Amino acid sequence: MARHIDRYLQPLLDEDRFDFYKAVCDFSDAEIGAPILHWEREHILIPDSAIRKMGELGLFGLTVREQYGGQGGTHLDLILMGLALGYHAQSAAITPGAASSLGTKPLQLFGRDDQKQAHLPDLAAGKRMFVFGLSEPGRGSDAANPEVTATRVEGGWKIKGEKCWSTNARWASHIVVHALTDPGGRPGHRSTCFIVPMDATGVYYQEMEGKEVWLQSSTGSVAFDDVFVPSDAILGEENEGFKVMVTTLNGGRLFIAGLSMASLAFMLDKCRGYVQERVQFDDKPVGRFQRVQDVLLDMDIALHQGVTWLIQLVKEYDAGTMQRESAAKCKIECSRRASDLATLAMEICGGVACLDEFGLIRHFRDLFVCRVGEGSNFALKSMSTRPLVPEIADILE
Ligand SMILES: Cc1cc2nc3c(=O)[nH]c(=O)nc-3n(C[C@H](O)[C@H](O)[C@H](O)COP(=O)(O)OP(=O)(O)OC[C@H]3O[C@@H](n4cnc5c(N)ncnc54)[C@H](O)[C@@H]3O)c2cc1C
């Protein structure tokens, strides 16, 4: 069955972009949709062979300029990749997605020329991967004041502490570490970002155990035991690390909104097919019941609205005109609606929805990450409300 989402996407895209999206959909059907159940049941992360094929397709270098060996595309291309791959499994889409939107992006935004020359060609080719090291065991939503510290020493800095929830850590060559460098500085100007090789002495990576979402994605904790980095490992300005992180998150949140829509698109197609086939009472399909139709229609409306809003915002993001809180609002709404609808989608399919092979339960689980990841929706609401009430913005909780 054709993906219903395509009828909303196609009018918003030029022909080349839509062709690119369809090519990634074909890749996704063959390389993700076909083996995903096997990977889940065998509890294996995305195999290196699949990551290599993504690299061959250019998915790691979509937004990297051609002078560095990338495809020279825009954030819109990245979002389209997320929609195409995430349809079968968010965990497959987030691998190249986080590599670009959280890993490569801060380097593109804040890196010096020599840093870009050193890393971008290999990042674009999928031979290197950067991890976004913001979250810590004790610092989630309150990320501006990290417990990880960097202390100045002869010739550079020593980093100490622990990062967690680091997507792609298993495959990472480097981690961008957000560390406290000036505890007495102004709020928001106390931290600095450092590019730290994962094989530096004193860096210890461990895959986080017990995670029941994004099953094929690597999520690691990374500890730093007095890790030395030279002064030129700083990314961006000293004591301006929080700016590096929050600026990067704007694009990442749009990607998460896209993953929410990818899951919703899959769920809608699955339900459309099932309610026309499944017969109950008088040998007629359950799709004839109006309550079942209500759910289908709500999913369809949410998909159409979400995709249209998302693509509009991504175009603004690429043009540099997007309001900062827009990405947060779009992520809040797309993830909330898709995850609320996931329960109803399962309900209209009945017991079969509990089976892994049916696919809905995967999206049900993964949509929870969209509510929490890259800023929990509740925490993002405060930020998003501020422009509405500017006179009391500084006392909002
Ligand atoms: C699968 C996965 C992958 C991730 N990948 C990465 C990654 O690659 N890099 C990285 O740095 N991080 C990553 N994260 C971490 C993610 O960004 C954090 O989980 C998120 O920022 C929320 O932090 P927390 O989980 O510590 O929740 P907490 O900050 O402890 O918040 C708990 C709850 O309290 C409420 N709350 C907190 N603050 C507020 C507020 N100001 N207003 C209202 N309510 C509030 C919310 O309901 C929130 O959900 C990942 C997380 C997951 C689950």
Question: Does 151 sit in the ligand 1 pocket, CB within 6 Å?
Answer: no
243-395: which CATH topology? Butyryl-CoA Dehydrogenase, subunit A; domain 3 (1.20.140)
Percent of the chain scored above 90 by pLDDT? 98
Instruction: Give, as one character, the DSSP assignment of residue 208.
Output: P
pLDDT surpassing 90 at residue 324: no
Residues 6+ apart with CB under 8 A from 61: 68, 69, 70, 71, 123, 124, 125, 126
Model confidence pLDDT, tens digit, residues 164-206: 999 999 999 999 999 999 999 999 999 999 999 999 999 999 9
Nearest residue by C-alpha to atom 16 in ligand 1: 373
CB atoms within 10 A of CB 148: 23
Number of alpha carbons in the 13 Å side-chain half-sphere of residue 198:
21
List pLDDT tens digits, range 37-68.
Answer: 999 999 999 999 999 999 999 999 999 999 99
Q: Which residues contact 223 (CB under 8 A, 6 or more apart)?
A: 161, 162, 163, 203, 204, 205, 206
Cα torsion 44, 49, 52, 56: sign: negative
Q: Is ligand 1 within 6 A of the CB of residue 101?
A: no
* pLDDT tier for residue 394 given thresholds of 50, 70 and 90: confident
Distance between CA 317 and CA 327 in Å, rounded?
A: 9
Pocket probe for ligand 1: among 372, 383, 396, the residue whose CB has the most ligand atoms within 8 Å is 372
pLDDT band at 1 (very low <50, low <70, confident <90, very high): confident
- The reported pLDDT for the residue numbered 397 is 78
379 lines ligand 1 (CB under 6 A): yes
pLDDT confidence tier of residue 367, bands split at 50, 70 and 90: very high
Look at ligand 1, atom 40, and give the residue with the nearest C-alpha: 379
What is the per-residue pLDDT across 15-34, written as a single tens digit (0 to 9) for each?
A: 999 999 999 999 999 999 99
User: Does the CA dihedral 276-281-283-288 come out positive or negative?
Assistant: negative
Residue indicated by tokens 């497959």: 92
Query: Of 129, 132, 141, 221, which is best to mutate to test ligand 1, by the most ligand atoms within 8 angstroms of its C-beta?
Result: 141
Query: Which residues, in sequence order, are bridge partners of residue 207?
Result: 220
- Do residues 168 and 218 touch, judged by C-beta distance below 8 A? yes
CB of 372 closer than 6 A to ligand 1? Answer: yes
Residue identified by tokens 């704007």 is 250
Cα 231 to ligand 1 centre (Å)? 30
Q: What is the mean pLDDT of the chain?
A: 97
**From ligand 1's centre to the CA of 335, what distance in Å?**
14
pLDDT at 44: 95
Cα 383 to its chain centre, rounded Å, is 20
pLDDT tens digits for 70-93? Answer: 999 999 999 999 999 999 999 999
Predicted confidence at residue 52, as pLDDT, reads 96
Helix (H, G, I), strand (E, B) or coil at 238: coil
3-state secondary structure 45-77: CCCHHHHHHHHHCCCCCCCCCHHHCCCCCCHHH
Question: Coil, strand, or helix at residue 223?
Answer: strand
Q: Where are the domains of the chain?
A: 6-124, 130-238, 243-395
Whole-number percent of the chain with pLDDT over 70: 100
pLDDT in tens, 238-257: 999 999 999 999 999 999 99
Q: Whose CA is nearest to atom 25 of ligand 1?
A: 140
Does 375 sit in the ligand 1 pocket, CB within 6 Å?
A: yes
How far does the centroid of ligand 1 lie from the alpha carbon of residue 119, in Å? 29
Give pLDDT, residue 291: 97
For the chain, first and last CA: distance in Å?
47
Residue indicated by tokens 């909104």? 257
Q: Is the pTM of this model over 0.85?
A: yes
Atom of ligand 1 nearest to the CA of 163: 11
101-139 residue pLDDT tens: 999 999 999 999 999 999 999 999 999 999 999 999 999
Ligand 1 centre from 221 Cα, in Å? 15
Q: Of 3.40.50.2000, 3.30.9.10, 2.40.110.10, 1.10.10.60, which CATH number belongs to 130-238? A: 2.40.110.10
Q: Which two tokens stand for residue 266?
A: 């899959």
In the predicted model, what is the mean pLDDT of residues 373-378?
96
Tell me how far the alpha carbon of residue 328 lies from the centroid of ligand 1, in angstroms.
Answer: 13
194 C-alpha to center of ligand 1: Å?
22
Phi-psi region of 18 (alpha: psi -120 to 50; beta: other; left: phi over 0): alpha
CATH architecture label of 6-124: Orthogonal Bundle (1.10)
- DSSP classification of residue 286: G
Please report the atom of ligand 1 found closest to the CA of residue 143: 21
Burial of 280 (0-12, 13-18, 19+ CB in 10 A): exposed
Mean of the pLDDT values across residues 333-353?
98
Q: Give yes or no for residue 396 having a pLDDT over 90.
A: no
